C-alpha cells in the first residue's frame, strides 16, 4: 500500500520525519520517501491524518481514505489468491487504535524563551487539542521546582519557580487523561 498525502489548507510540519509539507501539496508519496519504521514512528503524521489536516490515499490520484482507516503502525500489504486465479492485495484493516485518544506531544523550550521573575516560558501547540484534559511532565537541565500554569487546549506556561537564569533547555511532554485497553482484556 502506498501512502500519498495532500494538505487541506495549511503547511504541515512532521518533526519525526524532518519535513514540512507546504500547502498546497497533492499526493506527496510519503511511502516512497520514508521507511515503514520511520512512518510508524511519525506520531505527528498520524495525528494530522486523524484530525483531517492531511488527506491520505493508497495511490496517487486514487480515492481519499477516511482518517479512521489509517493506522501508521500497519502499512504493509500481503498478496493473496482470491480463489479465482487473480492475485489481490489485501491489507489487514485494523480499527484505528488512536482515534479514541489524542497522541502524546513533547517538545523542548530554549533557555532564551524563559523571561521574567520567576523565569517562565509559553508552550503553544502547533495543533490545538480538543480540550485541556491532559497531564504535563516537565524536566529541565537546571534543578528547579518546575510547575505549569494557564493550561488550555492550545498550550500552557512552564514556571521555573526561580529567578536565576537557566543554563540548559527544558523538556516537556503531555498525554491525555485516562486509560485505553484497545480491546485487550488485562
pLDDT at 84 over 70: no
* Residue 74's pLDDT band (cuts 50, 70, 90): low
- Tell me if 67 sits within 8 A of 55, measured CB to CB: no
pTM of the entire predicted model: 0.46
pLDDT at 72 over 80: no
Q: Verify that 69 and 113 share a domain, yes or no.
A: no
Range of the domain at 10: 4-90
Q: Verify that 80 and 9 share a domain, yes or no.
A: yes
- Tell me if 51 sits within 8 A of 127, measured CB to CB: yes
Q: Supply the pLDDT for residue 50.
A: 85
Q: Verify that 77 and 133 share a domain, yes or no.
A: no
Comparing 60 with 172, the larger pLDDT belongs to 172
Q: Is residue 98 part of a domain?
A: no
Q: Verify that 9 and 86 share a domain, yes or no.
A: yes
* Residue 34's pLDDT band (cuts 50, 70, 90): confident
3-class DSSP assignment, residue 39: helix
- Tell me if 99 sits within 8 A of 180, measured CB to CB: no
pLDDT at 184 over 50: no
| Number of domains composing the chain | 2
Overall size of the chain counted in residues: 186
Q: Verify that 110 and 158 share a domain, yes or no.
A: yes
Q: Verify that 19 and 69 share a domain, yes or no.
A: yes
Question: Which of 45, 62, 90 is the C-terminal boundary of a domain?
Answer: 90
Q: Supply the pLDDT for residue 87.
A: 44
Amino acid at each position: 500500500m502506498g501512502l500519498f498525502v495532500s494538505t487541506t489548507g495549511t503547511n504541515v510540519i512532521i518533526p519525526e520525519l524532518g519535513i514540512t509539507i507546504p500547502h498546497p501539496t497533492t499526493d506527496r508519496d510519503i511511502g516512497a520517501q520514508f521507511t515503514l519504521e520511520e512512518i510508524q514512528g511519525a506520531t505527528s503524521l498520524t495525528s494530522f491524518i486523524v484530525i483531517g489536516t492531511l488527506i491520505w490515499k493508497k495511490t496517487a490520484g486514487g480515492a481519499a481514505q477516511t482518517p479512521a482507516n489509517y493506522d501508521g503502525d500497519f502499512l504493509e500489504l500481503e498478496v493473496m489468491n482470491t480463489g479465482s486465479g487473480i492475485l489481490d492485495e489485501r491489507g489487514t484493516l485494523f480499527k484505528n487504535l488512536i482515534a479514541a485518544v489524542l497522541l502524546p506531544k513533547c517538545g523542548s523550550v530554549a533557555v532564551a524563551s524563559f523571561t521574567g521573575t520567576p523565569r517562565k516560558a509559553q508552550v503553544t501547540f502547533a495543533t490545538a487539542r480538543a480540550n485541556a484534559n491532559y497531564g504535563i511532565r516537565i524536566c529541565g537541565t537546571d534543578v528547579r521546582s518546575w510547575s505549569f500554569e494557564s493550561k488550555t487546549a492550545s498550550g500552557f506556561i512552564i514556571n521555573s519557580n526561580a529567578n536565576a537564569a537557566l543554563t540548559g533547555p527544558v523538556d516537556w511532554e503531555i498525554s491525555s487523561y485516562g486509560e485505553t485497553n484497545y480491546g485487550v482484556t488485562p
